Chain A
């Protein structure tokens, strides 16, 4: 790991800003870009990179969710139920990460990066069947006003065990690899559990703060979290996702998604090469 200097802090601030804005533009969070930058480019130990990235996940989750409260996009009750599973997964991941070899973590990251790339380009933007707005959303369902269609979207949550399972896996991968895990939860909630994409994304972004915290605490307690560099990354990601959200309102992200999918496939390959050295 390189010594902590003002120059390296500045580089990490910049990397955080770039990862944060890409994450905001693509709707997947910046961890999947920040971790490979720290490990492959700056040669950080994997756990140190994951720890720094997790702190940025917490910051993004809190900042994004704070701006969204009051719009009913975040399904608090569904979030609380799924947190039971996702935090359990995250705890297990953080404790396991302490015992896994660096090469194993790199290979697992390689697999997940490839999966993220595939999900990103193939994700169906399918419309959810809208129930009668007056319909009962049930205990876990929700109802929110959608600006685009100027109508109320009402949905019920179906197949809760699948949502719980996906949340557990997402939490596990999150603390093991230092990413948010939304890329696993959101498609599952959307495709199988009847949750509209925007509500799924908002609820997932809300949950990952708690998920990442349970992982980050373990790294912090084991002295694997470098405080000044985490600060630089957190501030960079905050600036980046703030600007990314503003650019995102005006750009078509399709070409960017394809480009970043290619980048992630390259990252995946590099992680495998490193893991097998």
Chain B
């Protein structure tokens, strides 16, 4: 069953996202607090936060692809709607 494959792929995306954002946030926090290295710290902290927020979005993107491969069009539509709503959030944020 391909839902198994989707579950494994989602798990992988989440694990990578959690680890990458934690590393960036810890390094950024350490730099800004201990060495007051403002530039690199600012970059790492924002990278960490963006990876953190991109992780759930990434697993929605993967789901759209997986359901498309399965030709499960109802779920392609549903996951695409979620993606559009997330895009609307980004739009509301930068406006």
Interface residues of A in 205-253 (CB under 8 A from B): 209-210, 212-222, 225, 227-228, 230-232, 234-235, 238
B56–chain A nearest beta-carbon distance, Å: 4
Let me know if B49 and A87 touch, CB within 8 A.
Answer: no
Residues of chain A within 8 A of B45, CB atoms compared: 227-228, 230-231
A contacts, CB < 8 Å to B: 6, 9, 55, 58-59, 61-63, 65-66, 69-70, 72, 74, 76-77, 80-81, 83-84, 87-88, 90-91, 94-95, 209-210, 212-222, 225, 227-228, 230-232, 234-235, 238
**A-B contact list, 8 entries, CB within 8 Å:** A9-B29, A91-B92, A94-B89, A213-B86, A217-B93, A218-B93, A230-B49, A238-B18
Is there contact, CB below 8 Å, between A9 and B33? Answer: yes
- Which residue of the partner chain A has the closest CB to B53? A213
B73, chain A: closest CB distance, angstroms: 13
Cα–Cα distance between A95 and B89 once the two chains are bound (Å):
9
Q: Known contacts A69-B14, A80-B63: does B52 contact A58 (CB below 8 Å)?
A: yes
Contact partner of B86 (CB less than 8 A), chosen from A9, A77, A87, A220, is A87
C-alpha spacing A214/B46, complex, angstroms: 17
Given contacts A227-B42, A228-B29, contact A65 B14 (CB under 8 A): yes
In the complex, A220→B47 CA distance in Å?
12
Nearest-CB distance from A103 to chain B (Å)?
A: 24
Pair A213/B57 contact, Cβ less than 8 Å: yes
Closest-CB distance, B35 to chain A (whole angstroms)? 11
Q: Do A81 and B78 touch (CB < 8 A)?
A: yes
Evaluate whether A59 and B92 lie within 8 angstroms (CB atoms) in the complex, with A210-B86, A217-B53, A227-B42 already known: no
Distance between Cα atoms of A234 and B73 in the complex (Å)? 37
Asked if residues B7 and A70 are in contact (CB atoms below 8 Å), the reply is yes
Of A9, A61, A87, the most chain B CB neighbours within 10 A belong to A87
Judging by beta carbons under 8 Å apart, are A232 and B88 in contact?
A: no
A66–B89 Cα distance when bound, in Å, is 24
Q: Are B11 and A88 in contact (CB under 8 A)?
A: no
Bound form: Cα–Cα A250–B25 in Å: 31
* Cβ–Cβ < 8 Å partners of A61 in chain B: 56
Least CB distance, A47 to chain B, in whole angstroms: 13
Assess whether B28 is in contact with A210, with CB atoms less than 8 Å apart.
no
Scan residues 1-32 of chain B and give those whose CB is less than 8 A from a CB of chain A. 3, 6-8, 10-11, 14-15, 17-18, 21-22, 25-26, 28-29, 32
Given A84-B85, A230-B49, verify A76-B7 contact (CB < 8 Å).
yes
Q: Residue on A with the closest CB to B95?
A: A221
